[in-house]
Amino acid sequence: MVFIGVLFINLLFAAAQDSGYCDASSKSCDLNVDEHKLIFYDVNPPEGFNLRRDVYMRFAIMLAEAQKHGKRKDWQLVLPPWYHLYHWKISRKPTPWGSFFDLNSLKSYAPVTEMYEVMSRTPKLTIDRLYVLQNFEDAFEGGYFKEKWEISKDDCYYEGFWGYNNITVKEKICVKFQGKISKLWELVQLHPKDKKIMFSHGEIPLHDSYGTKSFWDCRWSMKFNNKLIQIASKYMADNLSCDTTKCSTYLSVHWRRQDFIYGRKDYVPSIEGTAKQIDKAIINNNLKINKIFIATDALKSEIEKLEEQLKILNYKPFLYIPTRKDIELHGDGGIAIIEQIICSRSSYFIGTHESTFTFRIQEEREILGFGSETTFNRLCPDKGKCDKPSKWTIVH
């Protein structure tokens, strides 16, 4: 979610090499065999960056909770590299998680390892079992939701492996699944001698208990890469008069446009309506600020119109416009995180209804200790019903 304009060009992510990424075609990989059992997973290609972060949490919590109870001690979760996300505008090689997050912090919560670390230990990876997860046609058969799974006779398709050409699978199993993610252990138990298993469509299993202490412990461990924090901090100091993690000098807005205008047009305001709602929030909350930071995927023409509307109301709009070097080094995912950091530290935040980008900012603000009244706010349509956003507050 970011306006970069003409700077978006096809650039390969050479920085991944610096993070230790071992290219699939490389012959320099170490030949040591990994002693741990490994869980691999993948997510439906159209799903975005911020939903994938939530899917990671489901698997990390599943494994961490099992090990907390003395089970699955010899298992590790393999982090799927970021590769060819549909909404990313920059062509790139598989990007490791360490490019966006503090890997040591992730490992402090769950036994995770990067894909390049796995590939550096073997010239060819063979996965024992690939479970291709599918939805049941009727999730509420008989009027209620029942946790269940069944081996499907229907053919299922998977073509992925993140650009690696040296990964094979011994057996592919199609599974219709609905329920909590811990139920996947029942599939694992079908073949107890397997050492490497994989689940595709990892977005299908649900959280065991969303919003619990385990959820927030995992979410807290998802600290951002320090380089991205430094870039965001410098931008805030230079443009928004803030050098702390809880700022009082600006309001931030996540203004989702593009597909939301068409697919969820009843949820989003007009450009004029957006400016009026920002003004109303500042007046109603007695905020002594005139700086507005905007994170958006809007077209350049739309942004210019919103800026014009805000200036008429005596506000100073700001957007993070990355340099070409920023784009080369950090890509779409890194730029999105920089924007999220800036939004998470503002005195007041207004998000977009049902956007995972907004959800991640709200979570970050909970971790930083902002009040709910400054965090769980949304842009409303110009007319009609406007439900208040759900409040998922932190549990310590």
- Out of 47, 114, 117, 366, pick the active-site residue: 47
Per-residue pLDDT at 248: 97
Task: Return the structure tokens found at 385.
Answer: 């019903």
Domain boundary among 195, 218, 241: 218
One domain for residues 210 and 245: no
Residue 83 sits in which domain range?
A: 5-218
- Say how many residues make up the chain: 396
CA-based angle 107:113:118, to the nearest 5? 160
Per-residue pLDDT at 34: 52
Contact 140, 99 (CB under 8 A): no
Sign of the C-alpha dihedral computed for residues 275, 276, 281 and 286 taken in this order: positive
392 domain-assigned: no
Residue range 263-292, pLDDT digits in tens: 777 788 999 999 999 999 999 999 999 999
Distance of CA 379 to the CA centre of its chain: 21
360 domain-assigned: yes
Contact 332, 11 (CB under 8 A): no
Task: Return the structure tokens found at 280.
Answer: 């109303």
Per-residue pLDDT at 24: 39
One domain for residues 317 and 212: no
Q: What is the b/e burial string over 193-217, where b = at least 16 CB atoms within 10 angstroms of the residue's CB?
A: ebbbbbbbbbbbbbbbeeeeebbbb
Per-residue pLDDT at 193: 96
What is the CATH classification number for the domain harbouring 65?
3.40.50.11340
308 catalytic residue (yes or no) = no
What is the CATH classification number for the domain harbouring 240?
3.40.50.11350
Per-residue pLDDT at 123: 87
Contact 307, 317 (CB under 8 A): yes
387 domain-assigned: no
337 domain-assigned: yes
Contact 54, 356 (CB under 8 A): yes
One domain for residues 315 and 366: yes
71 domain-assigned: yes
One domain for residues 160 and 108: yes
Per-residue pLDDT at 281: 98
Per-residue pLDDT at 104: 98
Per the listing, tokens 């690939």 go with: 130
Per-residue pLDDT at 262: 77
One domain for residues 150 and 13: yes
One domain for residues 106 and 150: yes
**Domains in the chain, number:** 2
One domain for residues 242 and 268: yes
Per-residue pLDDT at 8: 35
One domain for residues 249 and 150: no
This prediction has a pTM of 0.88
One domain for residues 269 and 207: no
Q: Closest Cα partner for 380 from 277, 300, 244?
A: 277
Per-residue pLDDT at 257: 92
Per-residue pLDDT at 16: 39
One domain for residues 78 and 149: yes
Amino acid identity of residue 21, one-letter, is: Y
380 domain-assigned: no
One domain for residues 212 and 292: no
Task: Return the structure tokens found at 156.
Answer: 């299922």
Averaged over successive runs of 10 residues, the pLDDT of the chain (396 residues) comes to 38 38 40 71 93 97 97 97 82 88 98 96 94 93 90 90 94 97 97 97 96 97 97 98 97 92 82 97 97 96 98 98 89 94 98 94 97 97 90 92
77 domain-assigned: yes
Residue range 130-171, pLDDT digits in tens: 999 999 998 888 788 999 999 998 889 998 899 899 999 999
Task: Return the structure tokens found at 259.
Answer: 């597909």
One domain for residues 153 and 18: yes
328 domain-assigned: yes
